[in-house]
């Protein structure tokens, strides 16, 4: 199972609060991801403000519940009461496909979450 996570409006965070605060947000998210993850889950920084989470095979319901647990657990309040939120693209690796194909689908689901208003999980 694969989750691709992106920090919502991260460019605005850097632009408004500065890159030091942006770095603090990324570190906080990474720390919380590790805290929320079980021992059989792998977490990777996938890009600037994106993280890749690889989990063991879960049912769709279990996977979406885990994604929502992560999403809710990662909300982070900045000093002016602005909430930092995340969007997640969720999928399962299909038989006979590479992990990269699953990540590609998770990226499409992530784009759907962002285009539907952010701060949500979408499954594809």
Q: Which residues are catalytic?
A: 49
The residue behind tokens 């995340």 is 86
108 burial via Cβ count (<10 Å: 0-12, 13-18, 19+):
middle
List the structure tokens of 61. Answer: 């319901």
Contact 123, 90 (CB under 8 A): yes
Q: How far is CA 109 from CA 3, 23, 83, in A?
A: 9, 26, 23
DSSP-assigned beta bridge partners for residue 88: 5, 121
């Amino acid at each position: 199972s694969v989750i691709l996570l992106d920090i919502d409006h991260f460019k605005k965070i850097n632009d408004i609060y500065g890159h030091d605060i942006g770095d603090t947000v990324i570190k906080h998210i990474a720390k919380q991801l590790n805290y929320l993850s079980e021992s059989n889950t792998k977490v990777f920084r996938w890009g600037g403000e994106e993280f890749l989470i690889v989990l063991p095979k879960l049912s769709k319901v279990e996977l979406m519940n885990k994604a929502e647990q992560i999403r809710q657990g990662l909300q982070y309040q900045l000093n002016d009461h602005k909430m930092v939120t995340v969007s997640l693209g969720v999928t399962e690796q299909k038989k006979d496909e590479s992990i990269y194909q699953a990540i590609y689908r998770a990226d499409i689901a992530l784009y759907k979450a962002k285009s539907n208003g952010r701060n949500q999980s979408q499954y594809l």
